[in-house]
Every structure is written in C-alpha cells, then in structure tokens.
C-alpha cells in the first residue's frame, strides 16, 4: 500500500477551483455564447463551436448525462463471464 493505514492519499482534498478564471469564463459565455451561439457557429465555423463548448464547460461544468442501468423492458442487467 502506498499510504499508511487510516491516512488519506489526498489530505488537502480536491484542488480549489480558480474562481477568477471560472467567473471570467462564465461572463464570456453569458455575453457572447448564449445569445448568439448559432449565428457565431455559422459565421466562424466548427472551430468556434468547439471553443465556445470548452468555455462553457470551464465556466459551468459539463452537463450530466443519464446512463441506462436496465436491460430490455426495464429488466435488470445480467453479467455473464465465461472462462475458456
């Protein structure tokens, strides 16, 4: 084990988010992306879409994506392991 028993491997916790960077990214997204996103993409092309997508992710975080945890008709999933 790389860490002593009962000791955290990350005693300071998750690194803090740079609030200034987050706020400036949010401000940019609010001012430039939300109001004219489609128009900007049409004028500037695919690269602008990716740029605005990254700024939104840094400013607000990526949207959550639901995952399907059931089989056909809502049945539970089954895992089959075959040893050969």
Place 24 in a pLDDT band, splitting at 50, 70 and 90. confident
- Check pLDDT > 80 for residue 45: no
Place 26 in a pLDDT band, splitting at 50, 70 and 90. confident
Distances 43 to 3, 10, 36, 49, 61 between C-alpha atoms, Å: 54, 46, 11, 10, 26
Domain boundaries, the chain: 19-64
Number of residues assigned to the chain: 84
């Amino acid at each position: 084990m790389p860490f002593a028993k009962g000791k955290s491997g990350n005693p300071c916790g998750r690194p803090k988010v740079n609030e200034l960077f987050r706020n400036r990214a949010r401000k940019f997204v609010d001012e430039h992306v939300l109001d004219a996103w489609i128009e900007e993409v049409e004028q500037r092309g695919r690269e602008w879409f990716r740029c605005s997508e990254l700024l939104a992710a840094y400013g607000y975080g990526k949207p959550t994506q639901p995952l399907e945890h059931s089989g056909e008709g809502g049945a539970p999933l089954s895992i089959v392991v075959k040893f050969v």
